[in-house]
Amino acid sequence: MATPSELVISRPGPAARAGRTRDSAEENLISRLAHVVPSAEIALSLPLIGSIVALKRERNAVVVAHNYQSPLITAGIADFVGDSLAMARYAARCDAPVIVVCGVEFMAETAKLLCPDKTVLLPNLQAGCSLAASISPQDIRNLRERHPGTPVVAYVNTSAAVKAEVDICCTSANAVSVARSLRAHKIIMVPDQHLAGYVAACTGLEIVSSQGQCEVHVKYSGVDIDDYRATTGAVVLAHPECTRDVQQRADFVGSTSAMADYLSERRPRRVLLLTECSMADNVAMLHPEIEFLKPCNLCSYMKSITLNNVELVLQDGSNEIMIDPATAARARRPIERMLAL
């Protein structure tokens, strides 16, 4: 079962076929999507959604999707929706032998690390991440040489090869607790400089970071918040990958799961959600009474995952994620250490 902090959306049945009446599951899907997706786009997607649902059944596969995926994926075909670590944990505990990861490459790698005996497919192998690309294994070794004896924390938004070089992993949701668990006055935290700054502000620790940043979240500025709040009175939620001036001006700073929890508990009338744009669409399906304002930034990597390439990998089993066994063994340890906290 999913935990309360995971954004989970109920799943539809097979999509409509031309020439037959839509069933209740399809009508429910249309109703839920209508708030965030144009009706013509929904109608055009139903046959493809139906094909994917049938292929999942045929292949005994499940689809896990990140909160940043489009509603046609999260509501239409996904068996689970959540953050990157929650996706991997769901993949590991479900019975299906085939996992399709609707996310980016490091997410598929993390799923493979936690369920090495399963087949993990990524619909588009070009679905990268600016954060993951900003740090290499050699960068970690260099940081260790410059700061001997300092524990190293890697954000999950890193490759398996980078994870293999560090002491423990963290997510945006647990970064503060992971940092405190090390009981060190100084730590190295890579690759996101803004998440590292957030953790430093929360803990008072000395944190050494690389200069990585998310190309989506750094597009927001404190000026955005000031202007929108002045004209709309919106409650502002920001991801810790946003810059420090955004974090300081926001009403709440937290991970995608923490944002979802905040909105479920507080139910503000009007919200400015400073993260990837589809997150607002997915939460809006759960809370149509909330008005989401959109200075909207999209992740091109996330949007490279489509219904079409999901169908393709289910048809032919292409784009399987493989990790060198020695690297995988080393990369699994910092994830397991985090999970043990």
- Residue 302: count of CB within 10 angstroms of its CB: 25
Query: Which helix (H) or strand (E) element contains residue 85?
Result: helix 84-93
The domain containing residue 275 runs over which residues?
A: 217-293
Q: With bands split at pLDDT 50, 70 and 90, how would you rate the model's confidence at 286?
A: confident
Closest CA to 294 of 214, 341, 232, 248: 232
Q: Are residues 36 and 70 in the same domain?
A: yes
Report the CATH number at residue 279. Answer: 3.40.50.10800
295 has a pLDDT exceeding 70? no
Q: Does residue 334 lie within any of the structural domains?
A: no
74 has a pLDDT exceeding 80? yes
Q: What is the dihedral of CA 330, 331, 332, 334, to 10 degrees?
A: 100
Q: Are residues 111 and 77 in the same domain?
A: yes
pTM for the model stands at 0.89
3 has a pLDDT exceeding 90? no
Domain boundary among 188, 213, 238: 213
Domain boundary among 193, 213, 233: 213
Share of the chain above pLDDT 70, in %: 94
Number of domains in the chain: 3
pLDDT of residue 209: 96
Q: Are residues 262 and 173 in the same domain?
A: no
Out of 52-61, 121-130, 229-238, least confident range: 229-238
Residues 90/104, Cβ–Cβ less than 8 Å? no
What lies within 8 Å, CB to CB, of 249 at 6+ separation is 222, 225, 226, 236
Copy the structure tokens of residue 74: 């999260």
Q: Are residues 221 and 207 in the same domain?
A: no
Q: Does residue 258 lie within any of the structural domains?
A: yes
The alpha carbon of 225 is separated from its chain's Cα centroid by a whole number of angstroms, namely 23
pLDDT in tens, 88-110: 999 999 999 999 999 999 999 99
pLDDT in tens, 223-251: 878 888 888 999 999 999 999 999 999 99
Q: Are residues 156 and 221 in the same domain?
A: no
Q: Are residues 173 and 267 in the same domain?
A: no
- Provide the residue type at 244 as one letter: R
Q: Are residues 31 and 116 in the same domain?
A: yes
pLDDT in tens, 171-199: 999 999 999 999 999 999 999 999 999 99
